[in-house]
Amino acid sequence: MNSRLFWTGCAMLTAGIWSMATAASPGAPNSHNENENMRNAEYWVKFPHPARVFVTEDANAFPPLFEGDQQGMFGSLSFTLQSLAGLAARTVTNGTDDAMVWVDMVGNHSMQWWLADVLKHTGAERIDAPDPEALIRQFIDAGHVDGYITYAADQSDRRAYTDVEEEMPGYTASVNVATSIAPFYNALIIDKRAEAFLQDLGLERLMDVSDQDERWAFESYRDRFSDRLVHIIDPKVPHMRDYAMATESVVVYGVTDLTDEVYHWLPPNRPVVGWNDRDEYVQTSQMSRAATFSTATNWLINVPILSAVRADEDIPADQLRLDRDQPLDPLALDWPEGTHYTAYVMSDGDNVQWLVGNFAAHQYYWQSPVRGDFPFGWTIPTWSLYQIAPSVLHHVARTMTPVENVFSHGAGYYYPDEYARDVPNRAEVLDARAHQVGEAFKRTGMRVLNLILYDWDCDEAIEAYEAYAHHLPGLTGILAVQYAPYNAGLGDIIWVENADGAPIPVVSARYAIWAGLSHLDKKGPPALVAQYINEQPSEPHALGMGNFDCTVVHAWSRFVPADTSDDMLAEEKVDLDDPASVRASRVGLEPVAWSVNRLDDHVKVIRPDELMWRIRLAQRPRETLDSLARDLYGDPETASFQRELLNAYRAWLAEANFGEDGIAQKALDELRRIRFAMTTEPIDPE
């Protein structure tokens, strides 16, 4: 997940203004009862169209403001400009101005695409503003900045998004305090060592929070913070502070008692924006147990502007559907003898910042030269993109190839088996969470759900699968990945029923392509995983999981092209301390191609959605065919004579002896004939 990769006197808003700001977005504070609140499908705060967008100079070129200050994205000016962007977004929301601020990242091609798309869909005028002082002065002169709040910068020796130890020298989170309360004062935030910069612009200090901590901010302002979401931001980084201020969100950091209190203060099923410290499991478990979920957004910027493009309104709904150009008719699948079916799926699709940031333009992922050469599955944060970055989802939907299957990574990162364990009404909360994800399925046309769990086959996990199966329309199957190891189930299947009683498979990954883990069962480099797949049986209708399997590809593992005839682990020999070795290595989709190219002729690589249908037809033929017959009967394009045949077919199906050789194939062939109107003859019960 996110922690495995480092990417690069007060003028408060009145309650009435906040009500105006959120009237178009479900789930505004105090606007719904508890049950409606936690079932709210759209939980991100979105923003109106701006008429103007001020584009800063490249963030990496921001000048230092004092001796010893950093230049660029992590310098003190970057924090201040993030706060300016947050205040600007609020003025557009409350109707007092029409301009937003885009903090530019010139070297990020994807972000340039999204900016162009925002301008196209909103009609906003782009105004380049390379002079930060002039940009800030413009908002001061317009009356949108009343002063500034000073903070003490975190000067600890640790790297960003690493653990904070007790009494760590130089550590302070006062920048989070400043970020949390600044919107209530229409204030910019600034490192107290740099306040002369804002004084020279005619601003006055409204408050110094250098000695205040996050608990003080939460307890002093908790009735004013939005309960739509919470921000977890490392004090060392400026990212996402624009969105935190624009949404009046409390900002904290660390796996602490305060963080736990903040999570439980939120209504259930609300997002956590950012990322936390500590072990990935520890921080995600804390969120999950409190019925909140991570969005992996700690390196993201410009969300207020990205979310000004509206799904359905600015981009037609059908252009955001992931099944639009990829119809899959399970009755049209062929079943050649002696075939073993396998699918590959990319991990870490929870990562919103990755999809918005580098993914689309990256030569090893969406721009890989081998993309489209073989069937493949991509997990992405579909529902978050739909709400706050529909430009990105639109790009994925219109550029995906016919052999690709794009599906949702759980609508956030959390462990369904631990979800809401610390709340009194877990079943109700889990059901409401499944309802939220179900809305995502309705609007984006997804058919497969990917979940990551701490214990993939425990009782609590099964309860979660049952809730999802009940609420997700069109769900074909669930791919279950365990936190450690990813392929803990080794291909086993758990069956649950959807709302119509049809069986839905929960398929565990059998293999994982993951560097350095070849000592674990069914894990390793591309060549070794191909060897494992080649060894699997190939009977097309054998019961059990032997003739179907799925491989999860660790998104960040590096491999090197190698002759593996004498050493099956040669692809793993990448020296991460040697720049030349790293440059020669590959990550993402290309290593998957190496594995696919090593498969034997009897192995057929298919999309994950096709894998789910084949499993259902092979292992639950009666129930699956009955479900397909029922759906066909309800199709308005089905002719009356076909409906008569379907009634007879379902009656025969209920009594058929599927223990007999060939009966499953006969049932499949008969429904095919009805489906394609190849016969008007009644079924021969013999």
**Residue spans per domain, the chain:** 47-222+302-306, 342-618, 621-675
Q: Stretch 598-604: mean pLDDT, rounded?
A: 96
| Cα end-to-end distance, the chain, whole Å | 54
State the pLDDT confidence band at 338, using cuts at 50, 70 and 90.
confident
Calculate the alpha carbon distances from 311 to 302, 316, 351, 395, 598 in Å. Answer: 17, 7, 20, 13, 42
CA distance 605 to 591: 15
Q: In this predicted model, what pLDDT tens digit does every residue of 378-428 receive, in sequence order?
A: 999 999 999 999 999 999 999 999 999 999 998 899 999 999 999 999 999
H or E stretch including 55?
strand 52-58
pLDDT at position 367 over 80:
yes
Residue 36 has what pLDDT?
Answer: 65
Amino acid residing at 650? R
Contact 297, 275 (CB under 8 A): yes
Strands (E), 483-572: 493-497, 503-508, 511-513, 523-524, 548-553, 558-559
Q: Stretch 257-277: mean pLDDT, rounded?
A: 97
CA distance 283 to 292: 11
State the pLDDT confidence band at 453, using cuts at 50, 70 and 90.
very high
Residues 6 or more apart from 200 whose CB is under 8 A from it?
none
Q: In this predicted model, what pLDDT tens digit does every residue of 212-230 receive, in sequence order?
A: 999 999 999 999 999 999 9
State the pLDDT confidence band at 546, using cuts at 50, 70 and 90.
low
Higher pLDDT, 361 or 677: 361
The encoded tokens of residue 189 equal 């935030």
CA dihedral of residues 119, 124, 130, 132 (deg, nearest 10) = -120
Q: In this structure, which long-range contacts are made by residues 160-163, counting pairs with CB atoms below 8 Å and at least 24 apart in sequence?
A: 160/6, 160/234, 160/236, 160/237, 161/3, 161/6, 161/234, 161/236, 161/237, 161/275, 161/277, 161/298, 162/277, 163/277, 163/278
Pairing label, strands 493-497, 503-508 = antiparallel
The encoded tokens of residue 100 equal 């937003």
Pairing label, strands 230-232, 205-208 = unpaired
* Cα 188-19-383 angle, rounded to 5 deg: 85
Strands (E), 276-351: 292-294, 340-346
342-618 belongs to CATH 3.20.20.490: yes
Contact 668, 331 (CB under 8 A): yes
* Cα 479-481-486 angle, rounded to 5 deg: 140
Residue 35 has what pLDDT?
Answer: 65
Q: In this predicted model, what pLDDT tens digit does every residue of 19-52 receive, in sequence order?
A: 223 333 323 333 345 666 677 889 999 999 999 9
Residue 678 has what pLDDT?
Answer: 64
Q: In this predicted model, what pLDDT tens digit does every residue of 472-504 receive, in sequence order?
A: 999 999 999 999 999 999 999 999 999 999 999
Q: How would you class 247 by CB atoms within 10 Å of its CB: exposed for 0-12, middle for 13-18, buried for 19 or more?
A: buried
Calculate the alpha carbon distances from 308 to 48, 80, 178, 248, 671 in Å. Answer: 5, 22, 25, 17, 47
Contact 150, 174 (CB under 8 A): no
Residues 6 or more apart from 592 whose CB is under 8 A from it?
344, 370, 374, 376, 513, 526, 553
Calculate the alpha carbon distances from 144 to 179, 365, 411 in Å. Answer: 16, 42, 36
Question: In this predicted structure, which of 525-539, 599-613, 672-686 has the lowest mean pLDDT?
Answer: 672-686
pTM: 0.92
Q: Which residues of 169-185 are buried (b: 16+ CB within 10 A; e: fewer)?
A: eebbbbbbbbbbbbbbb
